[in-house]
Amino acid sequence: MHNSNSTSLSKRNIENILIVRLSAIGDIVMASGFLTALRAHYPKARISWLTQPECASLLEDNPNLDEVIAWPRKQWSDLWDKRSFLQLRANIKTFSAELTKRQFDLAIDLQGLLKSGWLSYLSGAEYRIGLGSREGAQLLMHQVLDRTAASDPLIGSEYRSALEQLGIDAGPFRMHIGIAQGTIESLSSKFPGLDEDATDLIICPFTTRPQKHWPEAHWEELCQILVASGRKVIVLGGPGDKPAGARLAELEGVTSLAGQTSLQEAAALISRSRGIIGVDTGLTHMGHAFRVPTLCLFGSTRPYLNPDNPVGEVIYLNKDCAPCRRHPTCGGAFHCLGDIEPQQVKEAFIQLERRIG
């Protein structure tokens, strides 16, 4: 094995491809643009995607994919915790056999971690490529692409750069989230009080890290401003966000569905919404994939500045300490987000609405 950055794909017969990107939601949304370009380049290839079960629904109805393979991470983790090592070994062997029987010509690890690199190796793919592989994963790759080559502020820049390094035309880099037929219709029966007007505006306030949060008091003020201007607001989030969502729903004109929708249902709501306002979270990035008016609030992280969405925009104050990512230096003050005012957000969103008339 080697980790040269030069590609020899043009010399290979590629008929069966495995993409490995296990998580997280936002990364899979952005990586879906890589898939679109890959399918255009290899229109007759069979393309599979290996991911974690909780992310699989984002991919299952993607027309560019032939198969979604769920990595049984929790099952393996449970066996490890129980010290059932023989059973774990047997399960890994069975899973590896299931992968290798597909006879992948190429595995592309878009995550670049040891776990994703190891799963790429278990696939038995004839040729393995990793994007910025680290933690030892580079030793399992035949080729490693330079993740740091992505300096473009465009959304999904690292995946665009990967395509360029592979000699694949990124073309119109189009992210795509599949929605199963009937999902939108089923929302009406699941939430009887939900009608078309109720999806006027969706907010996505929640993330897994506090340094990516806009203050709750700001969200409350923004909701009041939006409702006063005649809009209704829906709050989306995961099960752990239900208490915070319920607090926002105490405001007139605000409904919280946090923790009450599946990932596909949340995507369906976003796809038909009239707009999204959110922080650096996967649900917000979906707004750009569906090309609805989407306003992103970035601070400690800045995954992109150009959302490549004609009705998308980013508010980023570009503080001296930002983006700090996982290493804040402000002692928890997070001025990078806190200094963004609700009125500023409302005015920026109005500008997005004007773009679509």
pLDDT digits (tens, 9 = 90+) for 257-312: 999 999 999 999 999 888 999 999 999 999 999 999 999 999 999 999 999 999 99
Confidence of residue 327 (pLDDT cuts 50, 70, 90): confident
Contact 307, 294 (CB under 8 A): yes
The amino acid present at 184, given as its one-letter code, is I
Does 214 score more than 50 pLDDT? yes
8-state DSSP, 297: E
Q: Which of the four pLDDT bands, split at 50, 70 and 90, describes residue 172?
A: confident
Mean pLDDT of 237-257: 95
What would the mean pLDDT of 330-339 be, rounded to a whole number?
Answer: 91
The answer on pLDDT for 150 being more than 80 is no
Please check the confidence at residue 244 and state whether its pLDDT lies above 50: yes
Mean pLDDT of 128-154: 91
Cα separation, 304 vs 151, whole angstroms: 10
**pLDDT value of position 208:** 86
H-only helix segments in 14-146: 25-41, 73-81, 85-100, 114-122
Tokens for 216?
């709750």
CB 226, CB 342: distance < 8 Å: no
Domain annotation for the chain: domains and CATH numbers: 9-165 (3.40.50.2000), 186-355 (3.40.50.2000)
Q: CA neighbours within 13 Å on the CB side: how many for 309?
A: 31
Q: Given this model, what pLDDT does residue 198 score?
A: 44
Q: Which residue has the higher pLDDT, 353 or 292?
A: 292
Cα separation of 21 and 55, whole Å? 10
Going by C-beta distance under 8 Å and a sequence separation of 6 or more, which residues neighbour residue 85?
A: 79
Q: Residue 123 has what pLDDT?
A: 98
The secondary structure element, H or E, covering residue 109 is strand 106-109
Identify the weakest region by mean pLDDT among 38-47, 130-139, 145-154, 308-317. Answer: 145-154
192 vs 156, residue with greater confidence: 156
Look at 104-113, 201-210, 263-272, 326-335 and tell me which has the smallest mean pLDDT.
326-335
Pairwise CA distance, residues 314 & 289, whole Å: 15
Question: pLDDT category, 196, cuts 50, 70, 90?
Answer: low
